[in-house]
């Protein structure tokens, strides 16, 4: 408790504000629910993912239902993000600067590559798909949709974003997501290995994508202050991304990532 006093002058950067445990917990719950999209998430999984106790999660979720922030699905009893969240979101200008800046690059790269392209941002300890372009090639990986949210580290976009940040910060995020990795059949060590490999390679890559038989390549996009802002990903059936083509695709993605960085600078 004396720590608080001594750190007074640098608090904003260093020390989390106190006196709002409940609010922080409610937000943690909301973020887990957001990962469940329309179908929602059963209570037990929220408890697991947040490491909170049953009564606490139960209370939070039900208060949020009363407030319209969370909805409960009739038959399944799963909890999901409610109507009022997009209503609050209308207060912000849309589309975001990043989306505007990335648009031409996505257009260009999609035409050039022909496979599905994703734009993914970091939000807290998650990755969030914010844009998608379908290519011209007849076989496309469509399983990841705009709004898809996963723990940072389980997708190639997540690996790329982690690779673009200071190693220590990346380790902290990966550690925080440990409990959630189980559901994706991975673990802290595997993810950190992939991140290191991505740093060496200059881009993120997954031989085995989240979808069976697919392969993904991701480049990171940094803000002027060096923080990773987003990742640009190509996903395709594995046979379409052999070593030679991997090289080609990576070069296009790297080129466009630099262009987007200029645009948001």
Partner DNA sequence: GCGTTCTTGTCCATATTATGGACAAGAGAC
Partner DNA sequence: GTCTCTTGTCCATAATATGGACAAGAACGC
Give yes or no for residue 88 binding its own copies (CB under 8 A): yes
Give yes or no for residue 54 binding its own copies (CB under 8 A): no
Of 28, 18, 15, the residue nearest 61 (C-alpha): 28
Sign of CA dihedral 14, 17, 20, 26: negative
Q: Of the two residues 3 and 200, which places its CB atom closer to its own copies in the complex?
A: 3
Q: Of the two residues 20 and 208, which places its CB atom closer to DNA in the complex?
A: 20
For residue 236, list its beta bridge partners.
215
Tell me how far apart the alpha carbons of residues 90 and 93 are, in angstroms, rounded to a whole number.
7
CA atoms within 13 A on the CB side of 174: 27
CA atoms within 13 A on the CB side of 98: 17
For residues 136 to 165, the per-residue mask of contacts with its own copies, x marking binding by CB under 8 A and - elsewhere, is ----------xx-x----------------
Site for DNA in 28-57 (CB under 7 A): 42-44, 47, 52-56
Give yes or no for residue 23 binding DNA (CB under 7 A): yes
Q: Of the two residues 78 and 122, which places its CB atom closer to DNA in the complex?
A: 78
Of 59, 88, 176, the residue nearest 124 (C-alpha): 176
The secondary structure of residue 71, as a DSSP letter, is: E
Q: Of the two residues 52 and 170, which places its CB atom closer to DNA in the complex?
A: 52
Q: Of the two residues 33 and 241, which places its CB atom closer to its own copies in the complex?
A: 33
Give residue 182's region: left, alpha or beta (phi > 0; psi -120 to 50): alpha
Smallest separation (angstroms) from DNA to the CB of 78? 7
Q: Which residue of 1, 10, 14, 91 would you call a contact of its own copies, by CB under 8 A?
A: 91
For residues 95 to 134, the per-residue mask of contacts with its own copies, x marking binding by CB under 8 A and - elsewhere, is -x------------------------x-xx---x-x----
């Amino acid at each position: 408790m004396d720590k608080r006093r001594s750190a007074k002058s640098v608090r904003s950067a260093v020390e989390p504000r106190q006196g709002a445990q409940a609010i922080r917990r409610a937000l943690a719950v909301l973020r887990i629910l957001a990962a469940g999209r329309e179908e929602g998430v059963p209570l037990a999984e929220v408890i697991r993912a947040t490491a909170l106790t049953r009564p606490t999660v139960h209370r939070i979720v039900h208060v949020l239902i009363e407030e319209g922030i969370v909805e409960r699905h009739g038959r399944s009893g799963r909890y999901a993000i409610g109507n009022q969240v997009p209503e609050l979101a209308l207060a912000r200008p849309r589309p975001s600067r990043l989306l505007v800046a990335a648009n031409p690059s996505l257009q260009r790269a999609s035409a050039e590559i022909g496979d599905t392209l994703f734009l993914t941002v970091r939000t807290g300890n998650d990755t969030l798909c914010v844009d998608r372009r379908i290519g011209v090639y007849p076989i496309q990986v469509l399983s990841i949709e705009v709004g898809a949210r996963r723990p940072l580290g389980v997708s190639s976009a997540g690996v790329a974003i982690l690779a673009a940040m200071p190693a220590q910060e990346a380790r902290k995020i990966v550690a925080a997501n440990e409990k959630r990795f189980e559901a994706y059949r991975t673990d802290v060590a595997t993810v950190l290995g992939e991140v290191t490999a991505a740093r060496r390679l200059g881009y993120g890559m997954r031989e085995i994508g989240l979808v069976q038989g697919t392969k993904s390549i991701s480049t990171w996009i940094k803000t002027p202050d060096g923080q990773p802002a987003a990742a640009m990903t190509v996903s395709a059936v594995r046979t379409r991304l052999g070593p030679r083509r991997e090289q080609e695709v990576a070069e296009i993605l790297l080129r466009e990532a630099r262009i987007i960085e200029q645009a948001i600078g």
